[in-house]
């Protein structure tokens, strides 16, 4: 059994009687005590032994208790210091607090007062030592992790970083500690900053995969970003920790293989998506207008393409401003795009800066561009031709440098022929067109999208669904998805909400979805298909019948029955 060491206390006082008295009753209380009668003698004691607490008179002849306190700080010792004074005043108290004294005692000092303050000071030191040990362990973890780690407070002031940050961001920990993260010249598009802002605002983690992190020294840098809220022992969030995992080599390998499963936040490895990725890369630094088109239901994909164009180009350090043209009335959209002056119309009680002005130097994304009126089409045409506009209620032109990226699910060339869309505006917008392929045209990407949405909804709905049954996968791969990715997303979210097991099965799907897929669910040779599904599940799980049953969404008893029914034997299937 290990005996706990007695706390060591140094008593410093040039009055021998008082020094002896304090030393005596501290010894009786079980403390280990040493004593010094002068300032210089106390320094010798500090050099030869570690103390848990120092009790010192302020006036020591050649030196003072404040001098001892400063020496303790200079040597980075963790022992608290209690000052004893016979002449208390405001200046003495202020000096003691400013220099970091734990407390001070007024002469004549009573035994009970001294013992009480000693006990509290030693408890305080125990907490400090524990925190130092915890911080030491934390520092060791920081240093050992190869991924770059940055912690910030609620104001996004950098608290701590590890050495790996230098390789990823180009800064040493000493350079950025204590500085606002936003002021750092990161030479990237700043999405990691946006992730930290979102985590601090929502108190939720954020993940960004395959984010391009370019610097002169690493122009092809790619990282995965993860942010988490920092919480104190009471559970209150007080900042954010960000982990940057370097994926540059992996991304390079994917690029060499010419098959990236993800680009920016766009998911897809189909050949059509590979071509789209290449087009985005080629257009990122070309300041021409881009029109993104695709069927209804690919809206989220259009927005991701716009983000990829902006954040992979020279404008990435400037704003990306998004406008849904279909969500606002004609009057509101005009004010939203171009701004207005006070009194321009009823309700215009102050001046307003429009989205084009906010996007100056950056990119504006105009979603559902086919929904705007002829009047706004004309105003937009002028911005594209002359790079200037007037606010509503004001005739003074405002010059802007804005790249326009527009998106639509309508066939604008047909709208031009019918007179519903200006031909000159169409040609201005359609300088370069990116077409998002429908989901039925890239079925190879469906499993990756299913996996992505399953993870996303597990986190969102606090579920732990680990698999999707073979029947559901077969339907998803065969279904034409007229609503594209949005329909797949909504269908999976419905299933995750309804599912109370670890595997999504047919019964978890929306009724209207299963009704429209009866032909897939009930093929001509049902027994042959069912036997093949069971064999496939068994092979996939290494012939573990329990796992195969869970994968198929049936119980173990049922799979044994069907194995017997179909005469399925391992090695002879």
Indicate if 98 and 203 belong to the same structural domain: no
Indicate if 551 and 423 belong to the same structural domain: no
Per the DSSP assignment, residues forming a β-bridge with 467 are 503
Indicate if 296 and 326 belong to the same structural domain: yes
Kindly list the distances between the CA atom of residue 363 and the CA atoms of 73, 287, 291, 358, 448, in Å, as whole numbers in the listed order. Answer: 54, 10, 13, 9, 30
Instruction: Write the burial class of residue 212 (CB in 10 Å: 0-12 exposed, 13-18 middle, 19+ buried).
Output: buried
Q: Residue 179 carries which DSSP code?
A: S
Q: Which long-range contacts (CB under 8 A, 24 or more apart) does 426-429 make?
A: 428/289, 428/381, 428/384, 428/385, 429/289, 429/291, 429/369, 429/384, 429/404
Q: How far apart are CA 500 and CA 543, in angstroms?
A: 25
Specify if 391 maps to a domain: yes
CATH number at residue 311: 3.40.50.300
Q: How far apart are CA 392 and CA 171, in angstroms?
A: 46
Which one of 83, 110, 140 terminates a domain?
140
Kindly list the distances between the CA atom of residue 543 and the CA atoms of 478, 540, 563, 568, in Å, as whole numbers in the listed order. Answer: 26, 7, 11, 11
Within 8 A by CB and 6+ apart from 463, the residues are 457, 496, 499
Indicate if 428 and 488 belong to the same structural domain: no
Which one of 437, 458, 489 terminates a domain?
437
Residuewise pLDDT in 10s, the chain (573 residues):
344 578 899 999 888 888 888 899 899 988 999 999 888 899 999 988 889 999 998 888 788 888 898 888 888 888 899 988 876 564 666 667 677 888 888 888 788 888 998 998 888 888 777 766 656 655 666 666 678 888 888 888 888 888 888 877 777 888 888 888 888 766 566 778 888 898 998 888 888 877 776 655 555 677 888 888 887 766 788 889 888 887 765 444 444 444 677 788 888 888 888 888 888 988 888 888 999 998 876 656 899 999 999 988 888 888 999 999 988 888 889 989 998 888 878 777 888 899 999 999 999 999 999 999 999 999 999 999 999 999 988 888 999 999 999 999 899 999 999 999 999 999 999 889 999 988 888 888 999 899 999 999 999 999 999 999 888 988 898 888 888 898 999 999 999 999 998 999 999 999 888 877 765 555 544 555 677 778 878 877 888 888 888 777 788 888 888 888 887 877 655
Specify if 210 maps to a domain: yes
Tokens of 249: 């080599």
Specify if 270 maps to a domain: no
Which one of 140, 171, 191 terminates a domain?
140
Number of Cβ atoms within 10 Å of the Cβ of 396: 8
- The per-residue pLDDT for 11 is 93
Helix, strand and coil percent figures for the chain, each rounded to 5: 45, 20, 35
Domain count within the chain: 4
CATH number at residue 501: 1.10.8.60
- Phi/psi for 324 (5° steps) reads -95, 100
Torsion of Cα atoms, 325 then 327 then 330 then 333, to 10°: -60
Specify if 266 maps to a domain: no
**Domain region containing 12:** 8-140
Q: Residue 546 carries which DSSP code?
A: H
Specify if 274 maps to a domain: no
Q: How far apart are CA 103 and CA 87, in angstroms?
A: 15
Contact assessment for residue 277 and residue 260, using Cβ atoms and an 8 Å cutoff: yes
Specify if 413 maps to a domain: yes
Indicate if 507 and 424 belong to the same structural domain: no
Q: How far apart are CA 151 and CA 229, in angstroms?
A: 10
| DSSP assignments along 37-48, one per residue | SSHHHHHHHHHH
Specify if 527 maps to a domain: yes
Specify if 203 maps to a domain: yes
Indicate if 155 and 113 belong to the same structural domain: no
Indicate if 433 and 467 belong to the same structural domain: no
């Amino acid at each position: 059994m290990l005996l706990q060491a007695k706390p060591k206390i140094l008593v410093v006082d040039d009055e021998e009687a008082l020094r002896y008295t304090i030393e005596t009753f501290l010894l009786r209380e079980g403390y280990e005590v040493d004593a010094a009668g002068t300032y210089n003698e106390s320094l010798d004691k500090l050099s030869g032994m570690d103390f848990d607490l120092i009790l010192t008179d302020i006036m020591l002849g050649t030196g003072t208790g404040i001098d001892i306190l400063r020496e303790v700080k200079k040597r980075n010792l963790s022992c608290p210091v209690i000052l004893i004074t016979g002449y208390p005043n405001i200046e003495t108290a202020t000096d003691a607090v400013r220099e970091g004294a734990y407390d001070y005692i007024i002469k004549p000092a009573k035994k009970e007062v001294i013992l009480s303050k000693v006990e509290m000071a030693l408890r305080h030191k125990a907490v400090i030592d524990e925190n130092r040990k915890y911080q030491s362990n934390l520092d060791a973890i920081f240093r050992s992790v190869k991924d770059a780690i940055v912690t910030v407070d609620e104001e996004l002031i950098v608290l701590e970083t590890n050495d790996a940050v230098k390789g990823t961001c180009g800064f040493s920990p000493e350079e950025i500690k204590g500085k606002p993260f936003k002021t750092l010249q990161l030479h990237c598009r700043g999405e990691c900053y946006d992730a930290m802002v979102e985590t601090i605002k929502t108190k939720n983690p954020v993940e960004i995969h395959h984010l391009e992190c370019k610097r002169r020294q690493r122009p092809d840098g790619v990282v995965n970003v993860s942010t988490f809220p920092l919480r104190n022992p009471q559970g209150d969030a007080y900042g954010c920790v960000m982990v940057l995992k370097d994926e540059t080599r992996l991304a390079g390998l994917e690029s060499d293989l010419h098959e990236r499963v993800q680009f920016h936040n766009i998911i897809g490895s189909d050949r059509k998506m590979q071509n789209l990725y290449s087009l985005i890369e080629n257009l990122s630094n070309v300041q021409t207008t881009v029109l993104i088109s695709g069927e209804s239901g690919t809206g989220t994909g259009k927005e991701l393409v716009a983000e990829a164009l902006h954040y992979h180009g020279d404008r990435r350090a400037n704003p990306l401003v998004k406008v849904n043209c279909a969500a606002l009335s004609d009057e509101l959209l005009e004010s939203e795009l171009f701004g207005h002056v006070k009194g321009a119309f009823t309700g215009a009680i102050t001046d307003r800066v429009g989205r084009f002005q906010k996007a100056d130097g950056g990119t504006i994304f105009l979603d559902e561009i086919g929904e705007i009126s002829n009047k706004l089409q004309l105003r937009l045409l002028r911005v594209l031709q002359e790079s200037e506009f007037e606010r509503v209620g004001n005739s003074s032109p405002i010059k802007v440098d804005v790249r326009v990226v527009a998106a639509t699910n309508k066939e604008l060339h047909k709208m031009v022929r019918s007179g519903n869309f200006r031909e000159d505006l169409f040609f201005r917008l359609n300088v370069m067109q990116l077409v998002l392929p429908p989901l039925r045209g890239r079925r190879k990407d469906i499993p990756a999208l299913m996996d992505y949405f399953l993870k996303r909804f597990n986190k969102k709905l606090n579920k732990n669904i680990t698999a999707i049954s073979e029947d559901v996968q077969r339907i998803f791969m065969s279904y034409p998805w007229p609503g594209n990715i949005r329909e797949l997303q909504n269908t999976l979210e419905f299933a995750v909400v309804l599912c109370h097991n670890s595997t999504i099965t047919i019964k978890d799907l929306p009724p209207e979805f299963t009704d429209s897929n009866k032909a897939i669910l009930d093929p001509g040779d049902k027994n042959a298909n069912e036997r093949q599904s069971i064999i496939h599940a068994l092979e996939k799980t290494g012939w573990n019948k329990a796992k195969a049953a869970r994968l198929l969404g049936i119980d173990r008893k049922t799979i044994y029955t069907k194995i017997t029914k179909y005469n399925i034997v391992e090695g002879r299937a």
